[in-house]
Structure 1
Amino acid sequence: MTGILGGNPKDEPMHYGEIYNVWQASMMAKGAISAYRAYIFHAGDKDLKKILEALIDQAELEVSECDKLLTDNGIATAPNLPDRPDAKLEDIPVGARFTDPEIFASISTAIATGLVACSQVMAQSIREDVGALFGKYHLTKAALGLRILKLSKEKGWLIPPPLQIKRPEMVNA
């Protein structure tokens, strides 16, 4: 194929939806970094802190890659949020402190939302490199989601929806 949408995908223009999606992904990741850093101060469980650190690492990678993609295409990036000052768990008043189950609920919701968002960007992209980038993020978020699920089961934080323990008997007519 030749023309404006042929050849190297990095040489193709991004369409407005791709630009917005990449910009929004960067902005969401910047917000996530700030929130996850605050959660680390609130978290008491060392395994939860490790997952939060992995989530921060992933969000920082997404910011770096999305901002580079935007910059390479002449698009201004969203501003970074200021760093938070350090805090100690024991200095946070009990009534103002997020509990480990609350942190789990928040990060698991964020992962689920991120998976849907990545799928949408992949479906809307016409540049293969943009679709592949969000496919990579999708796979990483799925793996992190599995880690979060396993941890929540081990710690007793998971509150499942109603379970069908006993199935009604089928009536043969």
Structure 2
Amino acid sequence: MGILSGNPKDEPMHYGEVFAVWSFLTTAKSLVAGNQIHLNHAGDKDLQKLLDEAIQSGQQEVKQLEELLKENGIGLPPTPPERPKANLEDIPVGARVQDMEIAAALASQTAGGLVACSKIMGESIREDIAMIFGQIHTQKATFGAKVLKLNKEKGWLITPPLHQNKTDN
């Protein structure tokens, strides 16, 4: 029986897996803090709900990935401090991040997370790591659909130029 057979949790992580998980965790921690800041700036109630969901999901990812790294004897990246709640009215209008900008950032971070999850799944040789990122990918895809729907409903979606076939000349 080889080193890479049996229970995947007993297999060592390869350097690529270590770096990918550590990097994803670092980003997840930063996004939780960033979304907490965006929550302070958001005025739209539907956007606030999505930000709350993103924060909760991010915190779950952090917990799961910290556990994985600890089990494998890998040091953890630093965690940004929790952001305090602020009153939207206390933030000067010119300093506020607008709802449309927050929603665009949420869509972008979700898309980036999908790509990162796919990359990690493809590079993993440990099935448990690939499965973790498969689950995170599925959650992000579902969340991304909610963000897209909100952006469309609120009129915040900025489309690139739309191509239309010109068959009628």
Q: Do Structure 1 and Structure 2 share a fold, with TM-score over 0.5? A: yes
Superposed, 1:1-173 pairs within 5 Å as 2-165=1-164, 167-169=165-167
- Between the aligned partners of 1:3 and 1:37, the Cα distance in structure 2 is 46
**CA RMSD after TM alignment:** 1.3
- Between the aligned partners of 2:57 and 2:122, the Cα distance in structure 1 is 22
- Between the aligned partners of 2:21 and 2:163, the Cα distance in structure 1 is 41
- Between the aligned partners of 2:159 and 2:25, the Cα distance in structure 1 is 32
Cα distance, 1:150 vs structure 2: 0.3
Which residue type is aligned with residue 168 of structure 1?
Answer: K
- Between the aligned partners of 1:31 and 1:143, the Cα distance in structure 2 is 21
- Between the aligned partners of 2:149 and 2:84, the Cα distance in structure 1 is 31
Secondary structure of the equivalent of 1:159? coil
Secondary structure of the equivalent of 2:3? coil
The runs of 5 or more residues in structure 1 that have no matched partner are none
**TM-score after normalising by structure 1:** 0.95
Q: Deviations over 1:117-167 (max 9, x none)?
A: 0000000000000011001111000000000000111100001111124x1
- Between the aligned partners of 1:7 and 1:62, the Cα distance in structure 2 is 26
The runs of 5 or more residues in structure 2 that have no matched partner are none
- Between the aligned partners of 2:98 and 2:168, the Cα distance in structure 1 is 44
Which residue type is aligned with residue 55 of structure 2?
Answer: I
- Between the aligned partners of 2:168 and 2:152, the Cα distance in structure 1 is 32
Q: Deviations over 1:22-44 (max 9, x none)?
A: 11111111000100000110000
Secondary structure of the equivalent of 1:21? helix
**TM-score after normalising by structure 2:** 0.97
Cα distance, 1:170 vs structure 2: 8.5
- Between the aligned partners of 1:108 and 1:133, the Cα distance in structure 2 is 22
Label 1:159 to 1:4 Cα distance change in 2 as closer, same or farther (>3 A): same
Q: Percent identity?
A: 51
Secondary structure of the equivalent of 1:66? helix
- Between the aligned partners of 1:61 and 1:117, the Cα distance in structure 2 is 17
- Between the aligned partners of 1:170 and 1:15, the Cα distance in structure 2 is 58
Which residue type is aligned with residue 121 of structure 1?
Answer: I
Larger Rg: 1
